[in-house]
Amino acid sequence: MMLAPKILAIGATAASAANLFVSDYGGAVTSFALTASNGTYALNDTFSTDECAPSPSWLTIDANRGLLFCLNEGLSTPNGSLSSFTINGDGSLTHVMNETTISGPVSGVIYGAAAGQRALALAHYSGSSVTSYLLNGGGKFALNQELTYTLDEPGAVPDRQDAPHEHEAITDPTGKYIVVPDLGADLVRIFCWDDETLKLRELDPLETAPGTGPRHAVFWNPYGVACEECTTYFYLVGELDSTITAFSVEYLPNGGGLNFTQVFNSTTYGLLSLPEGNAPAEIQVTPDNRFIVISNRNNTSFDLPQPDGSILESDSLTTFKLQDDGSLVWHQLWPSGGSFPRQFSIDKTGSLVAVANQNSQNVAILQRDTATGLIGEPVARVTVGGNTTCVVWDE
Ligand SMILES: *[C@@H]1O[C@H](CO)[C@@H](O)[C@H](O)[C@H]1NC(C)=O
Ligand SMILES: *[C@@H]1O[C@H](CO)[C@@H](O)[C@H](O)[C@H]1NC(C)=O
Ligand SMILES: *[C@@H]1O[C@H](CO)[C@@H](O)[C@H](O)[C@H]1NC(C)=O
Ligand SMILES: *[C@@H]1O[C@H](CO)[C@@H](O)[C@H](O)[C@H]1NC(C)=O
Ligand SMILES: *[C@@H]1O[C@H](CO)[C@@H](O)[C@H](O)[C@H]1NC(C)=O
Ligand SMILES: *[C@@H]1O[C@H](CO)[C@@H](O)[C@H](O)[C@H]1NC(C)=O
Ligand SMILES: *[C@@H]1O[C@H](CO)[C@@H](O)[C@H](O)[C@H]1NC(C)=O
Ligand SMILES: *[C@@H]1O[C@H](CO)[C@@H](O)[C@H](O)[C@H]1NC(C)=O
Ligand SMILES: *[C@@H]1O[C@H](CO)[C@@H](O)[C@H](O)[C@H]1NC(C)=O
């Protein structure tokens, strides 16, 4: 039996506070204050806005500049939108802009020179596209580029692989490439960009096994240093076949792209038997660089008794321990605190995991033991006004 740690790294005696931003399909972006006093936590909403309505799906925070970008997936409208906010000292948000986009934006990443011209790349699920918006300071932005993809014939899972479905945009550890898992096309698309215009150019993609359904991914440098010659691994979550696949990454000469060699694969349940229908979603490397956490959805693995006697159905988070050769050792399966953990964010201390449980319409803050890497009991949980899509720490 795994024991949940009772002592937390923060907030043991003095009051402390952290802010979080949460998006939900009810149309809201909400700010929450997590306060800890004498070992007891409270999670209170402090601000809410509908200026990313109707279908907020993803939040990209630019903490250094005090900006929050929110994507509206536009589930019941022909188009999506991109909204920007400035983050105020009290955790409230001031709206800057809202622009109509190609339909279905679900993830975004900032790229470009840290102190120079930067842009935001968006992955569009229903719109089969990658788009780029130039960031012009203070939350202002302007359309830079739209790249839309098609599929010649449906993939191995016709209802989800009817068309390309760009599901996430991340940068590689050197900040030279953008990587976009495409769930519909069984590809991981790789892009470089022009330093002046920040226009993207597609390079040779990583082709996955048919029916994988690439959704989200992370890079990992085992020794914590990022460079083209450094040891680099890439971990890809296949939503449709419920797999985690590890690749070693070779940087091709002269900015020519990335070459991937598979080094390990497993179901996202690791050593445990995979339940039917499981659909993993999010993946993160823990801040200590020692573990990978993946969320599992769509086949409740835990029934959690509640104080009022009711039962809360919960999906799960899997933790794997990272090995120097890129392989993974299964470490833990633990309740996510609700149904359909679409996304989660680990705080920078590694001691708290905030989970967006989409179908339970909640956010659960789980404690995590940074010494053992084991996730533990929730310290706080709140219900939001719609299906939860994303939660980010303001830090
Ligand atoms: C702090 O928590 C301990 C243990 O739960 C309790 O005994 C003590 O009374 C609390 N102190 C305050 C000031 O609430
Ligand atoms: C925060 O929420 C808790 C319940 O979770 C409540 O007891 C407390 O009064 C709230 N605090 C504030 C400042 O609203
Ligand atoms: C933002 O743009 C979208 C797409 O055009 C639109 O549906 C939505 O109403 C707009 N939201 C606001 C707050 O203006
Ligand atoms: C609205 O969505 C359609 C289909 O994705 C796209 O062709 C069109 O350019 C979008 N409009 C804007 C303003 O982005
Ligand atoms: C990519 O790596 C494989 C070995 O895994 C090698 O055979 C292939 O030539 C490499 N491709 C390029 C473009 O370097
Ligand atoms: C791992 O990959 C191999 C092919 O490289 C495949 O045959 C096998 O089924 C995969 N295992 C899992 C658990 O996905
Ligand atoms: C969940 O997984 C179990 C074990 O694979 C299976 O028996 C059950 O039918 C699945 N339930 C659903 C709703 O998919
Ligand atoms: C959930 O699982 C069921 C079968 O158990 C499947 O029909 C359905 O497509 C799955 N949903 C998702 C989102 O993967
Ligand atoms: C919202 O959650 C409910 C369960 O609470 C689920 O049936 C529904 O499919 C979800 N819809 C979306 C768009 O997330």
Question: 329: CA distance to ligand 7 center in Å?
Answer: 25
pLDDT digits (tens, 9 = 90+) for 47-104: 999 999 999 999 999 999 999 999 999 999 999 999 999 999 999 999 999 999 999 9
Residue 243 beta carbon below 6 angstroms from any ligand 6 atom: yes
* Ligand 3 center–CA 100 separation, angstroms: 7
Q: Which residue has the tokens 């986009």?
A: 101
- What distance in angstroms lies between residue 360's CA and the mean position of ligand 7's atoms? 19
Q: Which residues sit with their C-beta closer than 6 Å to ligand 9? A: 25, 358-359, 387
Nearest ligand, measured from the Cα of 252: 5
- Identify the nearest ligand to the CA of 46 by its number: 2
For residues 213 and 187, what is the distance between their CA atoms, to the nearest angstrom?
8
Structure-token match 């070779």, residue found: 250
Which ligand is closest in space to the CA of residue 39? 1
| Pocket (CB within 6 angstroms of ligand 5) | 252, 259, 261
Q: What is the pLDDT of residue 9?
A: 41
Distance in Å, CA 247 to ligand 5 centroid: 12
At 286 the pLDDT is 98
The pLDDT assigned to 29 comes to 98
Mutate which of 8, 37, 38 to test ligand 1's pocket (most atoms within 8 Å of Cβ)?
38
The finding on whether 266 has its CB within 6 A of some atom of ligand 6 is yes
Residue 38, ligand 1, Cβ within 6 A: yes
What's the 37 CA to ligand 1 centre distance in angstroms? 9
CA distances from 314 to 126, 284, 336, 385 (A): 28, 20, 6, 19
Q: What is the DSSP string of 259-289?
A: EEEEEEEEETTTTSPPPTT-----EEE-TTS
* pLDDT in single tens digits along all 395 residues of the chain: 233 333 344 434 456 789 999 999 999 999 999 999 988 999 999 999 999 999 999 999 999 999 999 999 999 999 999 999 999 999 999 999 999 999 999 999 999 998 999 999 999 999 999 999 999 999 999 999 999 999 999 999 999 999 999 999 999 999 999 999 999 999 999 999 999 999 999 999 999 999 999 999 999 999 999 999 999 999 999 999 999 999 999 999 999 999 999 999 999 999 899 999 999 999 999 999 999 999 999 998 899 999 899 999 999 999 999 999 999 999 999 999 999 999 999 999 999 999 999 999 999 999 999 999 999 999 999 999 999 999 999 99
Identify the pLDDT of residue 1: 27
Report the candidate in 280, 370, 385 with the shortest Cα–Cα distance to residue 5.
370
**Structure confidence at residue 15 (pLDDT):** 62
Task: From residue 76, give the alpha-carbon distance in Å to each of 47, 72, 73, 79, 168.
Answer: 25, 11, 9, 9, 21
Predicted TM-score (pTM) of this structure: 0.95
Distance 95 CA to ligand 9 centre (A): 27
Reduced to 3 states (helix: H, G, I; strand: E, B; else coil), residue 253 is helix
Residue 380 near residue 391, CB atoms below 8 Å: no
Percent of the chain with pLDDT over 70: 96
Closest ligand 9 atom number to CA of residue 75: 13
| CB atoms near residue 251 (< 10 Å) | 19
**Nearest ligand 1 atom to alpha carbon 13:** 1
Q: Which atom of ligand 2 is nearest to the CA of 382?
A: 5
